[in-house]
């Protein structure tokens, strides 16, 4: 049976789900069962980072075989990677930072994107470009919830997905902020569980993350 086609790309990454798992895939064979476990646990938006040679094959496999997942690409840092990720089936793009060339490529990609920022000047520069949805990275190191809260009054039009140093102990603090649409994290995909193929454990951790997020809904 032919699987149903995926739904269209979302209008905004920030509206996909409160928690976006940030996944490093060392073996592309793990991608599909990993994505299925995350979806079963209530986390359908999955960011596969371009930190390993297996990343593009992982995105391609999830896009083709897990219709319940909305798979995106993270650690996108060049225009060439933008094209490669979209060709592989990525339905959103996330970068740790941005340049004019990278921003232009992400705009032209046809999928939603989150360029990374860590300073007020970078936020203002993106607003000048008409971009309102951003990744705040590295969140904890760059000032955490206190920094984001201080941006809400002067820059209310900017919305963020903070990533970096976020886990069960502080995720609800981030999600409670008015200018945070979602958070990114990797605590529900520990490397030892992925390497062992312990998909049941990952599903439990994903469900716990979804439950935490629901408390802020």
Q: Show the tokens assigned to 217.
A: 């809904």
Whole-angstrom Cα distance, residue 192 to residue 179?
34
Marked catalytic residue, from 80, 135, 173, 203: 135
Distance CA 107, CA 21 (A): 23
Strand 159-162 relative to strand 93-94: parallel, antiparallel, unpaired? unpaired
Which two structure tokens, joined as six digits, stand for 42? 């209530």
65 is catalytic: no
Tally the C-alpha atoms within 13 A of residue 101's C-alpha that lie toward its C-beta. 7
- Residue 135 catalytic? yes
Which is the catalytic residue, given 47, 65, 80, 173? 47
Strands of the sheet with 159-162, listed across from one edge? 116-117, 133-136, 159-162
Cα(first)–Cα(last) distance of the chain, in Å?
37
Active site residues: 47, 135
């Amino acid at each position: 049976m032919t699987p149903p086609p995926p739904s269209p790309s979302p209008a905004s990454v920030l509206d996909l789900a409160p928690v976006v798992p940030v996944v490093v895939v060392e073996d592309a064979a793990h991608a599909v069962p990993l994505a299925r476990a995350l979806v079963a646990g209530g986390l359908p938006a999955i960011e596969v980072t371009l930190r390993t040679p297996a990343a593009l094959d992982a995105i391609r496999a999830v896009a083709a075989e897990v219709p319940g997942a909305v798979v995106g690409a993270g650690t996108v840092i060049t225009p060439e990677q933008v094209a490669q990720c979209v060709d592989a089936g990525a339905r959103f793009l996330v970068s740790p930072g941005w340049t004019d060339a990278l921003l232009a490529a992400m705009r032209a990609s046809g999928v939603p994107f989150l360029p990374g920022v860590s300073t007020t000047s970078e936020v203002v520069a993106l607003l000048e470009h008409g971009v309102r949805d951003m990744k705040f990275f590295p969140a904890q190191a760059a000032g955490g919830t206190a920094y984001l809260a201080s941006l809400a009054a002067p820059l209310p039009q900017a919305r963020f997905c903070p990533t970096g140093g976020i886990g069960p102990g502080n995720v609800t603090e981030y999600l409670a902020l008015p200018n945070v649409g979602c958070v990114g994290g990797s605590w529900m995909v520990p490397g030892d569980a992925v390497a062992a193929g312990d998909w049941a454990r990952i599903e439990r951790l994903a469900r716990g993350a979804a439950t935490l997020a629901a408390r802020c809904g």
